[in-house]
Structure 1
Amino acid sequence: MSIYYLQQLSAPSQQRDSHIQLREITQQQTHHSRRLYQQVGEAWQWLDKLSWSEQQWQEYAEAPNLRTFVGMLNGEEIGYFELLRHDDDSVEVHYFGLQPKFIGQGLGGKFLELCAQCAWEWQALRVWLHTCDLDHPHALKNYQARGFVIYKVES
């Protein structure tokens, strides 16, 4: 399995004219973070947090350097992303994904653009993420099409 690390070193042009609306999760973060992680990650074998205790989820989801956003379309959650701010003022797209029923509808690219804009609006010096061969087959191409550039590959 290969892991691809990608980054943006400058903000892309602003394009907030999307039909996708963003809602930041500021209440019941633990509940929402766990639910979204399970719903979105199930198809992609996101397993590392499934055994976490309630306390571990709470410490993670309520950390001051983590923000969670949900994408909404016609009143339905289409997916979510989490942004993690690091001490070097970089912002990592820690998790990003669509709910299963919205995959394949052409929403991923616009949702990723909104995600990157939110990261840059958090005064990031760099926005980065990683993906792997277990993610959606078009994930890497989607990231690259939105201005993310590979800077490291692990096999």
Structure 2
Amino acid sequence: MSDPILSDGFTDVPHGKIVCVVTNLEMWARPDMTVLPAPPGVRLRHVSDPDPDWYRVLFRRVGENWLWHDRLECDDVGLAQIIADPAVAVYAVEIEGVDQGLLELDFREADTCEIAYFGIAAPLSGQGIGRWLMSEAIDRAWAKPIRRFWVHTCTLDDPSAVRFYMRNGFVPFRMQIEMTDDPRLKGILSPDAAPFVPRV
């Protein structure tokens, strides 16, 4: 087993950077579960050829408070290469005619599906929409001939995210440290995004 890259104790984070702990989780068999009915006024819509501008608006609506930023840094060509790939399935959670949630399933690795993005707009949390969306994600992923279904989350996400994934059948298998430029300081996200994460 190789030595850890970081030694025990504190490590200074350079100015302008943010750091999080990433938890990777997986499942190797479809769990015994029933797909939940959609809450009233809610539906999941497959977007077969996502427009990059539409995608960015929804991505920001769902993820800005959690500092989602990588897709916002892609140009139109780079973003389209991902979200228009036939092996990537993009879904919008439509609530009373407005797109308020995002599910993205990535089948580009053989025999595998990754939840690339999963979330709903913050004002809608606590209404059971997330549990329903996860049941849809599990059902749609295992409807394909996969052997492994996985996801990663981090300490910038909702604090209950790891427990949520574990309750739905995922098992942690790896932890990582990720450091990146603070997207608020780069102007990619609002300076007021994720006030729980200090800007240094």
TM > 0.5 fold call: yes
1:66 is aligned, of 85, 88, 103, to 88
* CA apart distance, 1:105: 2.2
Quick check: 1:13 aligned with 2:35?
A: no
2:165 is aligned, of 140, 143, 147, to 143
- CA gap of 1:28–1:111, structure 2 versus 1, over 3 A, is closer
1:119 is aligned, of 133, 141, 148, to 141
Please tell me the root mean square deviation across aligned C-alpha atoms, in Å: 1.8
**Equivalent residue for 1:52?**
74
CA distance in 1, matches of 2:52, 2:72: 13
**Equivalent residue for 1:129?**
151
**Equivalent residue for 1:109?**
131
- Number of aligned residue pairs: 155
- CA gap of 1:73–1:50, structure 2 versus 1, over 3 A, is closer
CA distance in 2, matches of 1:106, 1:16: 13
CA distance in 1, matches of 2:50, 2:103: 16
CA distance in 2, matches of 1:147, 1:137: 18
1:86-105 equivalences under 5 Å are 86-105=108-127
Give the conservation status (yes or no) of the 8 Å contact 2:62–2:100: no
- CA gap of 1:122–1:29, structure 2 versus 1, over 3 A, is farther
Q: Any gaps of 5 or more consecutive residues in structure 1?
A: none
Structure (1 or 2) with the larger CA radius of gyration: 2
Give secondary structure in 2 for the equivalent of 1:42: helix
Give the conservation status (yes or no) of the 8 Å contact 2:38–2:132: no
* CA apart distance, 1:116: 1.5
* CA apart distance, 1:19: 1.8
Higher helix share: 1
Give the conservation status (yes or no) of the 8 Å contact 1:65–1:84: yes
The share of aligned pairs that are identical, in percent, is 27
* CA apart distance, 1:112: 1.1
* CA apart distance, 1:127: 0.5
Give the conservation status (yes or no) of the 8 Å contact 1:30–1:62: no
* CA apart distance, 1:73: 4.2
* CA apart distance, 1:122: 2.2
**Equivalent residue for 1:25?**
47
Q: Any gaps of 5 or more consecutive residues in structure 2?
A: 1-19, 178-200
CA distance in 2, matches of 1:51, 1:112: 27
CA distance in 1, matches of 2:94, 2:31: 22
